[in-house]
A = this chain, B = another copy of it.
């Protein structure tokens, strides 16, 4: 059952048909999927969702499955329904009494990008596409490659030529056509815009972007369901294009609109790396216009200097009473360490950005210490180990005898508490 009725321009409000288009032909504004919320409210229910698949597809009523979708169109590797875990130890370290972690590292290709890609490629198949494509430096390429392989679709992934070997492997293992471009990421992006105009391929973040972006709403849907169908007081999310944050806010609005949660107030705050903070710099008062920046940060998955959804992110944050901040690379590394050592979650640099920003916002009084706060951890630390290679040093280096260990403990001034005296 599909409740999608069309596309509509976010700027001028003109309607567009359900097709592979992402900008308004009248004003070049971004197109967004339109739903029949009254029809959804009449059908959906908490029980219907809880009895659905154990993946983000349990929220299909509020996702852009197309009216003429065939049963086999869904490209599903099991993305979503990731753990929402209480984080009392990180909360104590930051001064928050009710903190939760949304752990999106345990998605099929280990980042939240699987949410947008499963939705984008499912729509793409309903629209008749047989080839998946994207421009990417990391997580998105991994996810498109994985989902395309699972669906038996050809994939063309465009990457800058000087990409790290690990990131290349984490895409190429799935067998896509990997196109290494002699140029910067901006060059790759521009090329993909041209290729999308010439070839009948579904570029997930270009021509099918309206469907793609809707996938991020499922983070918000899951947070609410996992809190017992209650909205949190505050969500802190990382920002690259700004789209994820915007869609979490939209998710909470939709859940309220169709009656799945009671009316409530939430705040949403955004996190950036100081080396690429065009959105937070604008909100913090450096003028009204988002100025493009040349990224210089270890948080490469957030390094978008010209954020497509920046203004919408600023609107969502201001409207809900949230904040934005950005953090240095040193703070990012400390954020990764703090999250892992207090809660056992190993995040990539983007997760370090989120945790370090949350710490900064708490210190500024921008987060209610007693409120229910959720931090979105968007990707796995195993993809960005370069950023924390300084942690590759053992606590003790010893010989292989019991005496060697006891001596090392003693030298370190540790109580050894042998069993005999326990």
A interface residues (Cβ-Cβ under 8 A, vs B): 54-55, 76-78, 81, 83, 85, 89, 103, 106-110, 145-152, 159, 161, 165-166, 168-170, 172-183, 187-188, 190-191, 194-195, 197-200, 336-337, 340-346, 380-383, 385, 388-389, 391-402, 405-406, 408, 416-419, 422
Tell me the complex Cα distance, A349–B173, Å: 13
Answer whether A199 and B382 are a contact pair too, CB < 8 Å, given A340-B173, A394-B168.
no
Query: Which of B151, B344, B408 has a CB less than 8 Å from the CB of A174?
Result: B344
Query: Which of B54, B381, B405 has a CB less than 8 Å from the CB of A54?
Result: B54
Q: In the complex, what residues of B have CB within 8 A of residue A197's CB?
A: 419
Q: In the complex, what residues of B have CB within 8 A of residue A175's CB?
A: 337, 340-341
Q: In the complex, what residues of B have CB within 8 A of residue A397's CB?
A: 161, 180, 182
Q: In the complex, what residues of B have CB within 8 A of residue A340's CB?
A: 146, 149, 173-175
A381 and B168 contacting across the interface, CB-CB below 8 Å: no
Query: Which of B103, B170, B383, B399 has a CB less than 8 Å from the CB of A181?
Result: B399
B419 and A180 contacting across the interface, CB-CB below 8 Å: no
Of all A-B residue pairs in the complex, the 10 with the closest CB atoms, nearest first, are A78-B83, A175-B341, A150-B344, A146-B344, A183-B400, A180-B394, A382-B382, A187-B400, A149-B344, A178-B394
B200 and A417 contacting across the interface, CB-CB below 8 Å: yes
A173 and B81 contacting across the interface, CB-CB below 8 Å: no
A181 and B400 contacting across the interface, CB-CB below 8 Å: yes
B394 and A169 contacting across the interface, CB-CB below 8 Å: no
Number of copies: 2
Query: Which of B76, B107, B380, B385 has a CB less than 8 Å from the CB of A166?
Result: B385
B394 and A182 contacting across the interface, CB-CB below 8 Å: no
Q: In the complex, what residues of B have CB within 8 A of residue A180's CB?
A: 394, 396-398
B109 and A346 contacting across the interface, CB-CB below 8 Å: yes
Q: In the complex, what residues of B have CB within 8 A of residue A166's CB?
A: 382, 385
Q: In the complex, what residues of B have CB within 8 A of residue A346's CB?
A: 109, 146, 170, 173-174
Could you list 24 A-B pairs, sorted by A, with CB under 8 Å?
A76-B85, A77-B85, A78-B83, A78-B106, A89-B150, A108-B345, A109-B344, A145-B344, A146-B344, A170-B381, A170-B385, A172-B392, A173-B337, A173-B340, A173-B381, A174-B341, A179-B394, A180-B396, A180-B397, A188-B400, A191-B401, A195-B402, A195-B405, A382-B382
A343 and B200 contacting across the interface, CB-CB below 8 Å: no
Answer whether A402 and B165 are a contact pair too, CB < 8 Å, given A198-B419, A341-B174.
no
Closest to A343 in B: B150
Tell me the complex Cα distance, A279–B225, Å: 46
Q: In the complex, what residues of B have CB within 8 A of residue A103's CB?
A: 78, 108
Answer whether A344 and B170 are a contact pair too, CB < 8 Å, given A198-B418, A400-B183.
no
Min CB distance, A89 to chain B, in Å? 6
Q: In the complex, what residues of B have CB within 8 A of residue A165's CB?
A: 385, 389, 392
Min CB distance, A180 to chain B, in Å? 4
Tell me the complex Cα distance, A145–B342, Å: 11
Min CB distance, A153 to chain B, in Å? 10
Tell me the complex Cα distance, A161–B395, Å: 11
Answer whether A395 and B177 are a contact pair too, CB < 8 Å, given A346-B170, A400-B183.
yes
Q: Given contacts A77-B83, A191-B402, list 7 more A-B pairs with CB under 8 A.
A: A54-B81, A110-B382, A165-B392, A173-B337, A173-B381, A174-B346, A199-B419
Tell me the complex Cα distance, A149–B89, Å: 9
Tell me the complex Cα distance, A169–B149, Å: 30
Min CB distance, A128 to chain B, in Å? 9
